[in-house]
Amino acid sequence: MGDEVPAPSVPMTAAGIAPRVRAALEAAEVEQFATLLGPNVMWGPPGSSTPPCRTRRQVLAWYAKGRAQGRRATVSEVQVHGNALLVGLRLDDGAERWQIMRVGEDGVNDIRCYDNRPSAQLAL
């Protein structure tokens, strides 16, 4: 799952993929999301030099596992900040999470998760 995604024909930008990130997350389509991730994308807590996910396959497995365990989220917002996206997620239990997705030429290459919007905004 995920390693076979072809490289984009044109470099990706945060502004260019923002609507596609929203659509993929809202649809909870792992394979749709895969097309937006760079092959060596990392996902983890802020400041971690050794995040738990360090490849597209690992990130997709993390999202798929959450979905299989019944976790659901709706996208509350997606904002473009230079080469980054600020993504707000409202979980089905009412909690909110914020992700910063940094975008390089081959797609999203770093995802960090925050418990609140102010912390995420400071990291932009």
pLDDT for residue 29: 84
Q: Which residue ranges form the domains of the chain, and what is each CATH number? A: 14-122 (3.10.450.50)
Q: Is 81:124 a contact under the CB 8 Å cutoff? A: yes
Backbone angles phi, psi at 21, to 5 degrees: -65, -45
pLDDT for residue 71: 87
For 72-95, what is each residue's pLDDT tens digit?
Answer: 899 999 999 999 999 999 999 999
DSSP annotation string for 31-65: HHHHTTEEEEEEEESTT-SS-SB-SHHHHHHHHHH
The pLDDT of residue 3 is above 70: no
DSSP annotation string for 61-123: HHHHHHHHTT--EEEEEEEEETTEEEEEEEETTS-EEEEEEEEETTEEEEEEEESSHHHHHHT
For 91-107, what is each residue's pLDDT tens digit?
Answer: 999 999 999 999 999 99
- The Cα 116–Cα 67 span in angstroms is 22
- Mean pLDDT (the chain) is 91
